[in-house]
Structure 1
Amino acid sequence: MKAVQFTTYGNPERVLDVREVEKPIPKNHEVLVKVRATAINDYDWSLVRGKPHLYRLMFGLFRPKVKIPGMELAGMVDAVGSDVTKFTVGEAVFGDISEYGFGTFAEYICVDATALIKKPENLSFEEATAVPHAFCLALQALRDLGKLKKGQKILINGGGGGVGYLAVQLAKLEDCEVTGVDSGEKLEQMKAIGFDFVVDYEKTNFTKRGETYDLILDCKTNQYPWSYLRALSPNGKYVTIGGKPGSLIQMLFFGKLQSLFSSKKLQIVSLKPNKDLDYFLELYTQKKIQVLIDGPYLLENTPRLLQYFGEGKHRGKVVVRLEHIK
Structure 2
Amino acid sequence: MSKKMNAIVAIGYGSPEVLKLKEVNKPEPKANEVLVKVKTASATKADAMMRTGKPYFARLIIGIKKPKKEIPGTGFAGVVEALGSEVSNFKVGDRIFGETAFGFSANAEYLVVPEDGIVMRMPENLDFSEASSYADGHLTSYNFLKEIGKVKPGQKVLINGASGSLGTAAVQIAKHLGAHVTGVSSHRNAGLVKSLGADEVIDYQKTDFTKGSEEYDLVYDTIGKSSFKAVKGILKPNGAYLSPVLQFPLLRDMLITSITGGKRAKFEATGANKPAKLKAMLADVVEIFKAGKLKTVIDRQYPLEKVAEAHRYIDSGRKKGNVVIYNA
TM-score over 0.5 for the alignment?
A: yes
CA distance in 2, matches of 1:36, 1:117: 15
1:78·1:89 contact (CA, 8 Å) conserved in 2? yes
Q: Quick check: 1:45 aligned with 2:48?
A: yes
1:189-242 Cα offsets, whole Å, 9 max, x none, are 2122222222233443311122211221121233342222211122223222x2
Aligned to 2:292: 287
Q: Which residue of 2 aligns with 1:132?
A: 135
Question: 3-state SS of the aligned residue for 1:74?
Answer: strand
RMSD across aligned positions (CA): 1.8
Distance (Å, rounded) in 2 between the aligned partners of 1:248 and 1:188 = 31
Q: 1:222 to 1:288 in 2, by over 3 A?
A: closer
Output the TM-score relative to the length of structure 1: 0.91
How far off its partner does 1:283 sit?
2.2
Matches within 5 A, 1:308-323: 308-323=313-328
Q: Which moved more, 1:61-70 or 1:244-253?
A: 244-253
How many equivalent residue pairs?
A: 317
State which of 149, 170, 174 in structure 2 corresponds to 1:171: 174
Q: Which residue of 1 aligns with 2:28?
A: 25
**Identity score, percent:** 36
- Tell me how far 1:49 sits from its aligned partner: 1.4
Residue 5 of structure 1, aligned match among 5, 9, 30? 9
Secondary structure of 1:255's match? helix
Q: CA deviation at 1:148?
A: 1.4
Partner of 2:71: 68
Whole-Å separation in 1 of the counterparts to 2:323 and 2:129: 10
SS of match in other structure, 2:113: strand
With 244-253 and 160-169 compared, the bigger mean Cα shift is at 244-253
Whole-Å separation in 2 of the counterparts to 1:146 and 1:238: 9
Instruction: Give a deviation string over 1:151-199, Cα, whole Å, max 9, x none.
Output: 2221001111111111111222244321111334322221222222222
1:305 to 294, 301, 310: 310
> What are the ranges of 5 or more consecutive residues in structure 1 without an aligned counterpart?
none
Q: Name the residue aligned to 1:88.
A: 91
Task: Give per-residue Cα distances to partners, 1:39-89, cap 9 Å, x unaligned.
Answer: 012331122211221122122212222211000100011111112212111
One-letter amino acid matched to 2:325: V
The 2-side partners of 1:82 and 1:89 are apart by: 13
Distance in 1, matches of 2:166 and 2:228, equals 21
SS at match of 1:111: strand
Partners of 2:279 and 2:43 lie apart in 1 by 16
Paired with 2:129 and 2:140, the residues of 1 have a C-alpha distance of 19
Larger CA deviation: 56-65 vs 77-86: 56-65
Aligned equivalent of 2:215: 212
Distance 1:278 1:224 in 2: 31
SS at 2:103's partner residue?
coil
Quick one: structure 1 residues 235 and 64, their matched pair in 2 at CA, closer, same or farther if it must change by over 3 Å? closer
Segments of structure 2 that go 5 or more residues without pairing to the other structure are none
Question: Cα 1:201–1:282, aligned 2, differ >3 Å: closer, same or farther?
Answer: same
Report the secondary structure of 1:294's partner residue. strand
Secondary structure of the equivalent of 1:21? strand
**Does residue 243 in structure 1 map to residue 245 in structure 2?**
yes
Report the secondary structure of 2:58's partner residue.
helix
Return the alpha-carbon distance in structure 1 between the equivalents of residues 259 and 285 of structure 2: 35
Question: What amino acid sits opposite 2:252 in the alignment?
Answer: Q
- Residue number in structure 2 paired with 1:269: 268
Distance 1:321 1:36 in 2: 6
